[in-house]
Amino acid sequence: MASSPVIDFHIHVIDPWQWEKEHYELNNRFKETSGLYEVIDEEHHTDPKRLVALMDREGIDYCCLITGRYPTNEFTLNFCRDQPRLLPFARCNPATEPDTGEAARRWAAEGFRGIKLIPHSDHFYVNDPRLYPLYEEASARGLPILMHIGSSIFLGSKLKYCDPLAVDEVAADFRSLKLIMAHAGRGWWHEQCFFLSRLHRNVYMEISGLPIRNLLTLFPDLERNADKVIWGTDWPGAPGFRKGREGIEALPLSTAAKAKILGLNAAKVLNLPLTPVTSARAD
Ligand SMILES: [Zn+2]
């Protein structure tokens, strides 16, 4: 796998003082293998250098740092500032952004590499007209939109806002906008997400937060859709970078399909080089 990059499209960096009850549960469930506590310093802050060192040890070239309910967009941007292998994503909530088009221009200028929508938590549909200026600007700038599509354990989540039919409408209205469905419809809409990513040239499914051992049960035809599947972990609420990567490598899929899922597709979406970062191959 050494000739193509490995990209984790979905991780969260939140300092411990902001963790909610669910964060504690998830982070501690996986603490033996996630390496989370190795990247938190003596003052209880997450350290970008330590995170990159962990990525090196576990064979990861790039990570997308997703702003969700926490932390702030500013925190995520600052965290990634001197680390070209950490790619910040801004969260957009149409209820608190008076002009989502202006916000997209600002985020692109600041250095964000993508935008995250959390419809289940912020309670909007992704085809909400307030988001259309965002989609126009993101499309013009090649910024991918990562949308949470599926279940969530966090308080106040409402599944109805994740209906993939709303993604279909956005995909039809913005033919060159890169739309990535995080969690690929977890729990409710796997078939629909698979279908949509086959149907629309610009729609991808991202598989973070799904048990990899069940992946081919959830998506028996995964090999045929290998151009449209993007790997991510949802770290630190996941068994870890290496475990996730090795889980994909162990699947009965072609070598070419695994390389696409583990990084080549993401590299194209993010306009990154299609070659690995050498220091991430320490193992
Ligand atoms: Zn997440």
> Is residue 280, in this structure, part of any structural domain at all?
no
pTM for this model (two decimals): 0.96
Share of the chain above pLDDT 90, in %: 93
DSSP category for residue 274 = S
Return d(Cα 195, Cα 218) in angstroms, integer.
13
- Digit-coded pLDDT (tens) for 193-245: 999 999 999 999 999 999 999 999 999 999 999 999 999 999 998 999 999 99
- Does 208 reside within a domain? yes
Residue 283 lies in a domain: no
Give domain status of residue 117, yes or no: yes
What are the pLDDT digits (tens) for 148-200? 999 998 889 999 999 999 999 999 999 999 999 999 999 999 999 999 999 99
Measured in Å, residue 184 CA sits from the centre of ligand 1 at 12
The domain of 109 spans: 7-272
Report the helix count and the strand count for the chain, using DSSP H and E. Answer: 13, 8
Q: 109-142 pLDDT, tens per residue?
A: 999 999 999 999 999 999 999 999 999 999 999 9
- CA–centroid distance, 70 to ligand 1, in Å, is 10
What is the Å distance from ligand 1's center to 118 Cα? 9
Within a domain: residue 207? yes
Is 256 inside any structural domain?
Answer: yes
Instruction: For residue 233, report the distance from its CA to the centre of ligand 1, in Å.
Output: 8
CA of 68 to the centre of ligand 1 (A): 7
β-strand 7-11 against 114-117: which pairing, if any? unpaired
* Helix axes of 132-141 and 164-173: crossing angle, nearest 10 degrees: 60
Domain tally, the chain: 1
CATH number of the domain that residue 217 is part of? 3.20.20.140
Q: What pLDDT is stored for residue 154 in this prediction? A: 85
Q: Is residue 278 part of a domain?
A: no
Residue 282 located in a structural domain: no
Q: Which residues neighbour ligand 1 (ion) by CB within 5 Å? A: 234
The answer to whether residue 82 scores a pLDDT higher than 90 is yes
- Give the C-alpha separation, 145 to 167, whole Å: 11
3 state SS of 48:
helix
Q: How far is the CA of 10 from the centre of ligand 1 (A)?
A: 6
Q: How far, in Å, is the centroid of ligand 1 from the Cα of 269?
A: 18
